């Protein structure tokens, strides 16, 4: 069986060696040695210059914390083309999502439509770097400054992505990432938040630890966003393989690029200046009917691509519907093909030939 992705498992001995450190320290949570070591390693690997990293227990909590601190119960301009967690976090934090349609090639929020959506109630822009493809960061920053808005980037898919020579996590007031088991770099479950403003960083930090200021005092309201030493142990075991993982995925992407028929399907256009991470391989069919035919045939062969992101989030039942023509169209016709370290060339060839044949 070939799934859309497959978790990278480091050698068990290397993972258990990291777990043994936690046993030796008799420390399982509350930012132990392993968590702090992993943050240091990631800071260097990602070449963070201004932003600081805080590892969390998943990739959604950072968005929720950012919205709690910056959303102020207002309107949040966001994309309808993302994983459901992006919109769910807005609603969960008692803010109102205001959708703006997407660019048909980059698949990120269409920055030319943002200003028309701004009202006196708007507090934030929450944009997604879709499949690791950066938004038009410069234009979003210009709009945010003009209207005194905060910018949060859902960069769940953007580990190791660089934009114009620096980490994509250096942009925005807050950026977030997922370290879920399906991601390039993972801690089993986990995530991270990135921020370069010291005051906001301080708020984020105490917010992820129940608001604590020492054992008995509190800075303010908080929640439990802490990651455990056991999760950090997995991250430390995966970390040495990152260059190998990226190189392996690049070869698979190159095969798809060189062998698919791009008269029948189209692919996402990467924004100029992007050093991409090969996180997903989405293809867009001419019709939903064509997608469903291909999906069924691949499923019959025990191959399971996935319809990321479907449905368009402006259509889910916990938001008010407003038509987003491009997002609704793309979401009905886009399919992510299998892409993971260790996917064999013969299976990639089978996937490509099946698509071309149908």
One digit per residue, pLDDT tens: the chain, 358 residues? 999 999 999 999 999 999 999 999 999 999 999 999 999 999 999 999 999 999 999 999 999 999 999 999 999 999 999 999 999 999 999 999 999 999 999 999 999 999 999 999 999 999 999 999 999 999 999 999 999 999 999 999 999 999 999 999 999 999 999 999 999 999 999 999 999 999 999 999 999 999 999 889 999 999 999 999 999 999 999 999 999 999 999 999 999 999 999 998 999 999 999 999 999 999 999 999 999 999 999 999 999 999 999 999 999 999 999 999 999 999 999 999 999 999 999 999 999 999 999 8
Cα 280 to its chain centre, rounded Å, is 11
First to last CA, the chain: 20
Strands 265-267 and 281-285: antiparallel
Alpha-carbon distance of 328 to 102, in angstroms, equals: 10
Task: Provide the token pair at 146.
Answer: 């003009």
Q: Are 131 and 150 in contact (CB under 8 A)?
A: no
| Rg of the Cα atoms in the chain | 20
How confident is the model at residue 250, as a pLDDT?
98
Six-digit token string for 278: 């090969």
Tens digit of each residue's pLDDT (9 = 90 or more) over 317-326: 999 999 999 9
In this prediction, residue 358 carries a pLDDT of 87
Rounded to whole angstroms, the Cα distance separating 136 from 163 reads 10
167 has which bridge partners?
162
Express each pLDDT in 267-319 by its tens digit: 999 999 999 999 999 999 999 999 999 999 999 999 999 999 999 999 999 99
CA distances to 54, 65, 205, 208 from 201, rounded to whole Å, are: 9, 11, 6, 11
pLDDT of residue 227: 98
Residues 223 and 208: beta-carbon distance below 8 Å: yes
**Strands lying side by side in the sheet with 162-163:** 166-167, 162-163, 274-275
Domains annotated on the chain, with CATH: 7-240 (3.40.640.10), 241-357 (3.90.1150.10)
* Those residues with Cβ within 8 angstroms of residue 212's Cβ, 6 or more apart along the chain or in another chain: 206, 218, 219, 222
């Amino acid at each position: 069986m070939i799934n859309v992705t497959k978790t990278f498992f480091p050698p068990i001995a290397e993972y258990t060696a990291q777990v043994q450190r936690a046993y030796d320290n008799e420390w399982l949570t509350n930012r132990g040695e392993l968590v702090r070591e992993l943050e240091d390693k990631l800071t260097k690997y990602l070449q963070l210059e201004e932003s600081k990293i805080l590892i969390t227990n998943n990739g959604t909590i950072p968005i929720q914390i950012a919205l709690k601190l910056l959303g102020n119960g207002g309107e949040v301009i966001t994309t309808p083309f993302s994983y459901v967690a992006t919109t769910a976090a807005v609603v969960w934090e008692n803010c109102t999502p205001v959708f703006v349609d997407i660019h048909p090639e980059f698949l990120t929020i269409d920055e030319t439509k943002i200003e028309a959506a701004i009202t006196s109630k708007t507090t934030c822009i929450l944009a997604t770097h879709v499949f690791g493809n950066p938004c038009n960061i410069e234009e979003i920053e210009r709009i945010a400054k003009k209207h005194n808005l905060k910018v949060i980037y859902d960069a769940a898919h953007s580990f190791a992505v660089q934009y114009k020579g620096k980490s994509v996590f250096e942009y925005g007031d807050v950026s977030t990432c997922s370290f879920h088991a399906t991601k390039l770099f993972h801690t089993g479950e986990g995530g991270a938040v990135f921020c370069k403003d010291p005051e906001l960083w301080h708020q984020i930090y105490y917010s992820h630890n129940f608001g604590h200021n020492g054992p008995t005092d509190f800075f303010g309201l908080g929640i439990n966003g802490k990651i455990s030493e056991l999760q950090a142990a997995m991250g430390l075991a995966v970390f040495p393989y990152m260059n190998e993982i990226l190189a392996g995925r690049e070869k698979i992407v190159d095969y798809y690029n060189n062998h698919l028929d791009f008269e029948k399907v189209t692919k996402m256009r990467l924004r100029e200046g992007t050093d991409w991470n090969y996180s997903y391989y989405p293809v867009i069919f001419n019709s939903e009917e064509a997608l469903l035919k291909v999906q069924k045939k691949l499923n019959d062969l025990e191959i399971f691509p996935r319809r990321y992101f479907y449905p368009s989030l402006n259509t889910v039942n916990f938001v008010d519907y407003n038509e987003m023509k491009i997002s609704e169209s793309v979401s009905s016709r886009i399919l992510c093909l299998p892409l993971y370290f260790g996917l064999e060339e013969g299976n990639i060839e089978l996937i490509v030939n099946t698509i071309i044949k149908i």
